[in-house]
């Protein structure tokens, strides 16, 4: 999908203010597997569904998915699937594309293999059926161990079950749109995504993660 609207804005990069041409991010969505977005989950702080679809997200012109085919590591061996599928570009909700990690707190880390300015991260945990994942936390760092210079971009762990701090972001229902997180141009090489089960079972899943930057 393409949009004719182009904006300019000021970006702060490396301490310098630069004018950047902004345009709606072109995101190719997988096929929807169900109609509508159920909201009858017994989950605190659940965001309202986008009845008319997600509004366009403005980002600097020319940015690309810098996570495509990049290496992925995890906190434990997958129960099913292979980690490379998290960044292989396949967002369709099929059993072939899903990676399942064990129950409890688990995370995957994407090595972008260079430092990028990151503007958007889109996550497809699982969209074969509607569900909500618990304690989703998304972080960016230059440190592969995530000890130093850690930027937390999203955190809906409202009870601090992961020990990473109390989150203030809303829970959301998984759909074919994925979850788009505004990364605001943060610099980093590694992207880590945490979760702790979902409303259907205790396991953790990933179909695809895209990281848009330059």
pLDDT digit string, tens, across residues 19-44: 679 999 999 999 988 766 666 788 99
Q: Check pLDDT > 70 for residue 7.
A: no
Q: CB atoms < 10 A from the CB of 182, how many?
A: 15
* pLDDT value of position 82: 97
For the chain, the average pLDDT equals: 91
Average pLDDT, stretch 180-206? 97
Stretch (H or E) spanning 192: strand 179-195
Stretch (H or E) spanning 212: strand 208-213
What is 83-109 written as a DSSP string? GGGGGSS----STTT-EEEPSSSEEEE
Comparing CA positions, the residue from 74, 71, 60 lying closest to residue 183 is 60
Q: Check pLDDT > 50 for residue 172.
A: yes
Written as six digits, the tokens of 83 are 């980690």
* pLDDT value of position 53: 85
Which residues lie below 8 Å from residue 198, measured CB to CB, with a gap of 6+? 125, 126, 131, 132, 133, 134, 204, 205
Residue corresponding to tokens 């909500």: 132
Interatomic CA distance for residues 150 and 101, integer angstroms: 23
Give pTM, 2 decimals: 0.90
* pLDDT value of position 188: 98
Residue corresponding to tokens 């292979």: 82
Q: Check pLDDT > 50 for residue 16.
A: no
Average pLDDT, stretch 148-173? 97
Task: Give percent above pLDDT 70 in the chain.
Answer: 89
Q: CB atoms < 10 A from the CB of 26, how many?
A: 13
Could you tell me where the beta strands, DSSP code E, fall in 44-159? 58-60, 64-65, 72-74, 99-101, 106-124, 137-141, 151-155
The conformational region for residue 185 under phi > 0 = left, psi -120 to 50 = alpha, else beta, is left
* pLDDT value of position 41: 85
* pLDDT value of position 39: 64
């Amino acid at each position: 999908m393409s949009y004719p609207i182009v904006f300019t804005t000021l970006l702060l990069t490396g301490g310098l203010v630069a004018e950047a041409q902004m345009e709606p991010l072109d995101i190719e969505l997988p096929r929807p597997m169900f109609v509508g977005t159920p909201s009858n989950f017994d989950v605190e702080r659940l965001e309202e569904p986008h009845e008319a679809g997600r509004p366009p997200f403005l980002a600097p012109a020319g940015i690309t998915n810098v996570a495509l085919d990049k290496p992925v590591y995890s906190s434990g061996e997958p129960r099913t699937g292979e980690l490379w599928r998290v960044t292989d570009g396949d967002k369709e909700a099929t059993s072939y594309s899903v990676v399942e990690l064990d129950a409890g707190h688990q995370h995957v880390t994407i090595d972008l293999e260079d430092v990028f300015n990151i503007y958007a991260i889109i996550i497809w945990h699982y969209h074969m059926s509607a569900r909500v994942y618990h304690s989703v936390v998304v972080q960016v760092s230059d440190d592969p161990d995530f000890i130093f210079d850690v930027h937390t971009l999203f955190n809906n762990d409202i009870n601090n079950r992961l020990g990473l701090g109390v989150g203030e972001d809303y829970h959301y229902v998984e759909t074919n749109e994925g979850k788009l997180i505004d990364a605001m141009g943060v610099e980093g090489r590694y992207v880590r995504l945490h979760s702790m089960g979902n409303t259907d079972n205790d396991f953790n899943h990933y179909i695809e993660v895209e990281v848009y930057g330059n």
